[in-house]
Amino acid sequence: MRRSARPSLKRVLIANRGEIALRIIRACRDAEIESVAVYSDADRTARHVRAADHARHIGPAPATESYLVGDRIVEAALSCGADAIHPGYGFLSERADFAASCEAAGLVFIGPSPETLARLGDKLAARRAAVSAEVPIVPGTFEPLRTDSPKAMAEVAAEAERIGWPLLVKAAAGGGGRGMRRVDHPAELAAAIAAATREAAAAFGDGAVYLERFVEGGRHVEVQLLGDDHGTVVALGERDCSVQRRHQKLVEEAPAPGLSTEQRRMVHTLAVRIAATVGLRNAATAEFLLTPNGDFYFLEVNARLQVEHGVTELVTGLDLVREQLAIAAGSPLSPPVLAAAASAAEPTHHAIEVRISAEHPLTDFAPAPGKITRWREPGGPGIRIDAGVEEGTVVTPEYDPLLAKLLVVAPDREAALARLRRALREFEVGGIQTTLPFHHWLVDQTDFVVGRLRTDLVALTWDPEPLWRAAAGRAAEAVAQLAAHEAHEAQASGSTRMELTRGQETGSTRAWQEAARQEAVDRWS
């Protein structure tokens, strides 16, 4: 057997917060590796801080002064004797310069090499890599558009005609739908390019944009990849993430419904081919567009753990974070990983994840920060919750609004959907508005129930106003009846029972929260 290139990890610093930090800490604990949390002023008493073996304060609440300051995180890792850094997703996870500074400091960066990150961060470079790997891509351009002269603009317009309408203007450094514009008519092209360039420059510090054909009715299908230091890369099945709004995923599931075994094998093979071309190590995801004709077009590689990695874990039985830790320590892919890869095209379970975010579904998913006054998670068979919050947590506007992920698993999709409906009924959140109403609505939509998925499903069918109004009517009725009932009982017993209950409830909650907060502060400050 081949010897490990590095001794196994002893202490891992998690350069993240919220649910993903807690998720990684749990894998560390299962693997008997010590974990180090980092936290900003706003997260002093957060769950991830209390769960870790050690914790380091890294700055004030704004992410640009804490979680995004690579030097401070490397310094924290060195000062507490960590031998590796797990970046999670978001923040510094795909920054080649951060991966390089970890390595320069003698720390293992749990992820792809800085060279791979640099190459994949540029979508145009990724498109060129796909072409060299003979993987089909969405028809479009390969170099940043030049619009600085009438002649250059005329060339762009001719290129657009060749690609066909409608098309997309996309940012080379893009993500999350920023720096992206749909163009339906030639007359709109110049303005769309200018707007996308401005947005991309503001969001990513790089205004380069390119053109891509817009595929009507497409699905978002992505493949989970794991690669080791020894050149082996495998696919661990695919996920469908078509339920999105403005390119932000809301629901993900594995496997992608309705694909044949051949189609699954095909997209897994394409993903592995791209990963091998760019020398991928550790965990990554290759994203594809599945057209209504059944063709797969490569979109991009996300060279990190994805938010939705859990559905793949529930279907394969693997702990992907634990596998990441083993790979980072130099181990070859484990026998369970190889076995899961061998049967990835014939899954025997179905898993669905819904994202619970602090957003208001009525007002176009506007941020809805505040204090969580009630948090009751569902339980029972086939349910998994990855949450970064709890009752009493104050959700601040500083960070991503994702609070928790609700995952369900069952032998088939129909059974998984039934579990999801049950879990949603059990999930109680109060104090702040979340995306739960969207999920309550979705699980009864025919297209979703039968697996007829497409990325514009939400845009075409989601109309929250009537749902909100109907629910508001029921809420008012419930309160009026409860108040009538309580007034009647108070009168009947001649007591002020209602007043007492109210006083006790608010009083004890405060006392409990104070005690918990004080304990957390004593422990970490």
The least distance separating another protein from the CB of residue 64, rounded to whole angstroms, comes to 11
Helix ranges restricted to H, 219-259: none
Q: What are phi and psi of 79, to 5 degrees?
A: -70, -25
- Residue 297: beta bridge partners? 289
Give min distance, CB of 502 to another protein, in A: 5
CB of 246 to another protein, least distance (A): 11
- Residue 430 as a binder of another protein (CB under 8 A): the answer is yes
Tokens of 91: 């923040």
Stretch that binds another protein, among 26-34, 79-87, 344-352, 485-493 (CB under 8 A): 485-493
- Among 287, 346, 289, 337, which Cα is nearest to 317's? 337
Q: Rg of the chain's alpha carbons, rounded to an integer?
A: 24
CB of 231 to another protein, least distance (A): 39
Tokens coding 391:
């009752």
Nearer to another protein, 293 or 491 (CB): 491
Answer whether the bond into residue 255 is a cis peptide, omega within 30°. yes
**Among 29, 431, 447, 516, contact with another protein (rule: CB under 8 A):** 431
Q: CB of residue 250 vs another protein: minimum separation in angstroms? A: 13
Contact between 469 and another protein (CB under 8 A)? yes
Q: Figure out which of the listed residues 60, 379, 411, 473 binds another protein, where binding follows CB under 8 A.
A: 473
Catalytic residue among 17, 245, 304, 384: 304
- The alpha helices in 106-250, defined as continuous H runs, are 114-121, 123-132, 150-163, 189-204
Task: Confirm or reject binding of residue 480 to another protein (CB under 8 A).
Answer: yes
User: From CA 21, how far away is CA 40, in angstroms rounded?
Assistant: 13
- Least spacing, CB of residue 12 vs another protein, in Å: 28
Element (H, E) at 451: none
- 478 is a site residue for another protein (CB under 8 A): yes
Work out whether 511 is an interface residue with another protein (CB under 8 A).
no
- d(C-alpha 87, C-alpha 114), whole Å: 13
Q: Which of 6, 10, 230, 502 binds another protein (CB under 8 A)?
A: 502
The Cα–Cα gap between 62 and 318 comes to: 35
What 8-state DSSP symbol labels residue 65? Answer: G
* CA dihedral for 62, 67, 68, 74, sign (positive or negative): positive
Q: How many residues would you count in the chain?
A: 525
Taking CB under 8 A as the rule, does residue 16 contact another protein? Answer: no
State how beta strands 54-59 and 402-410 pair: unpaired
Q: Could you say whether residue 399 binds another protein (CB under 8 A)? A: yes
Out of 78, 104, 482, 521, point to the residue binding another protein (CB under 8 A): 482
Q: Which of residues 344-373 bind another protein (CB under 8 A)?
A: 358, 362, 366-370, 373
Based on the residue annotation, tell me whether 502 is a catalytic residue of this protein.
Answer: no
255-263, 299-307, 428-436, 455-463 -> range binding another protein (CB under 8 A) = 428-436
DSSP 459: H
Q: Which of residues 400-419 bind another protein (CB under 8 A)?
A: 400-401
Residues labelled as active-site residues: 304
The binding site for another protein (CB under 8 A) comprises 358, 362, 366-370, 373-374, 396-401, 424-441, 467-469, 471-485, 487-488, 491-492, 501-502, 505-506
